[in-house]
């Protein structure tokens, strides 16, 4: 008769964490406005005056009292930016659960995980979605290939040039699949000599003066191809980030974790042309 042996099962004090990318929004957006003490910010849009031919001889003073031409008024309208995303989460961790999982189920580490795996991806997806929806140029969807990718990127660059968008600080946002096409394109010479400071922000290369940033497609709108943008166009405020771990609150033996974040994204009316969005045909990538 064979012997019966119960083999040892050992649990290592280690958590198999999910891989999650850090946010790269700082490259594509700005924090030019301060929502401290306010829920809505209004900014002015001021008009301009047309150019006239100077009436040096003063022959037209019968209709225009000034030789500079008819005096025009300037429009002064406003646009509003009101925060709409006020999000929260909460969960509890029993004290015995912390003790009997070798301290792997603990409030502080669980909060950090929640921020990394839930909060940051949600904010990223929302902001990228707003930028794509409010882009001043939304190109016709195409199937991007190694043969046409550079042509399409050049179209985006030309569009921003014609709109007089500053040539510096432009960012080319791509999916991993599109970046692979760029590397396969013989016409594209990527400059991958990027400093450590820029790599920390998410820049992996430079192309024609634009910083190339790669983002997983799960954080981007459906059928996203690429986006060429200047950070002056989009504002991505985070008014409130309030995270806390309550130890042994009333009614609970353990930790109560709570979090709240108030954020939003806006594209300024006069700067929409600084965003060029190229979608791909459904099922193409």
Q: How far apart are CA 267 and CA 243, in angstroms?
A: 28
SS3 227: strand
Q: What share of the chain is helix, strand, coil (3-state, %, to 5)?
A: 25, 30, 45
Residue 125 and residue 127: Cα distance in Å, rounded? 6
**Which strands make up the sheet holding 275-279, listed edge to edge?**
137-138, 275-279, 224-229, 171-174, 210-214, 203-207
User: What residues form DSSP beta bridges with 93?
Assistant: 255
Per-residue pLDDT of the chain (285 residues; tens, 9 = 90+): 555 655 544 445 544 455 567 788 989 999 888 888 888 888 888 888 888 888 887 776 666 667 888 888 888 888 888 999 999 999 898 888 777 677 767 778 888 889 999 999 999 999 999 999 999 999 999 999 999 999 999 999 999 999 999 999 999 999 999 999 999 999 998 887 878 888 877 788 999 999 999 999 999 999 999 999 999 999 999 988 899 989 999 999 988 999 999 999 999 999 999 999 999 997 665
Kindly tell me the burial class for residue 200, based on how many C-beta atoms sit within 10 Å of its own C-beta (0-12, 13-18, 19 or more): exposed
CB atoms within 10 A of CB 151: 13
pTM assigned to the model: 0.85
**What tokens does 165 get?**
């968008």
Phi-psi region at 209: left, alpha or beta (left = phi > 0; alpha = psi -120 to 50): left
Burial class (CB within 10 angstroms; exposed 0-12, middle 13-18, buried 19+) of 100: exposed
Task: Check: CB of residue 165 under 8 Å from CB of residue 171.
Answer: no
Count the neighbouring beta carbons within 10 Å of the beta carbon of residue 164. 9
């Amino acid at each position: 008769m064979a012997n019966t042996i119960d083999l040892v099962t050992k649990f290592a004090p280690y958590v198999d964490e999910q891989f999650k990318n850090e946010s790269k929004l700082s490259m594509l957006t700005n924090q030019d406005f301060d929502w401290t003490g306010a829920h809505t910010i209004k900014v002015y849009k001021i008009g301009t005056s047309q150019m006239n031919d100077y009436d040096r001889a003063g022959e037209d003073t019968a209709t225009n009292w000034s030789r500079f031409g008819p005096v025009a008024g300037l429009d002064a309208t406003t646009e509003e930016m009101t925060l709409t995303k006020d999000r929260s989460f909460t969960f509890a961790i029993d004290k015995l659960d912390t003790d009997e999982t070798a301290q792997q189920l603990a409030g502080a580490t669980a909060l950090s995980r929640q921020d990394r795996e839930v909060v940051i991806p949600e904010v990223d997806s929302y902001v990228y979605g707003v930028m794509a929806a409010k882009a001043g140029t939304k190109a016709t969807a195409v199937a991007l290939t190694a043969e046409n990718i550079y042509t399409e990127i050049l179209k985006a660059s030309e569009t921003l040039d014609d709109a007089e968008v500053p040539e510096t600080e432009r960012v080319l946002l791509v999916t991993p699949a599109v970046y692979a096409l760029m590397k396969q394109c013989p016409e594209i010479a990527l400059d991958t000599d990027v400093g450590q400071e820029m790599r920390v922000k998410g820049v992996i290369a430079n192309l024609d003066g634009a910083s190339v940033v790669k983002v997983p497609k799960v954080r981007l709108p459906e059928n996203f191809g690429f986006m060429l943008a200047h950070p002056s166009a989009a504002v991505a405020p985070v008014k409130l980030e309030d995270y806390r771990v309550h130890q042994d609150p009333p009614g609970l033996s353990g930790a109560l974790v709570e979090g709240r974040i108030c954020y939003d994204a806006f594209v300024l009316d006069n700067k929409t042309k600084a965003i060029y969005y190229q979608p791909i045909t459904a099922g193409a990538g």
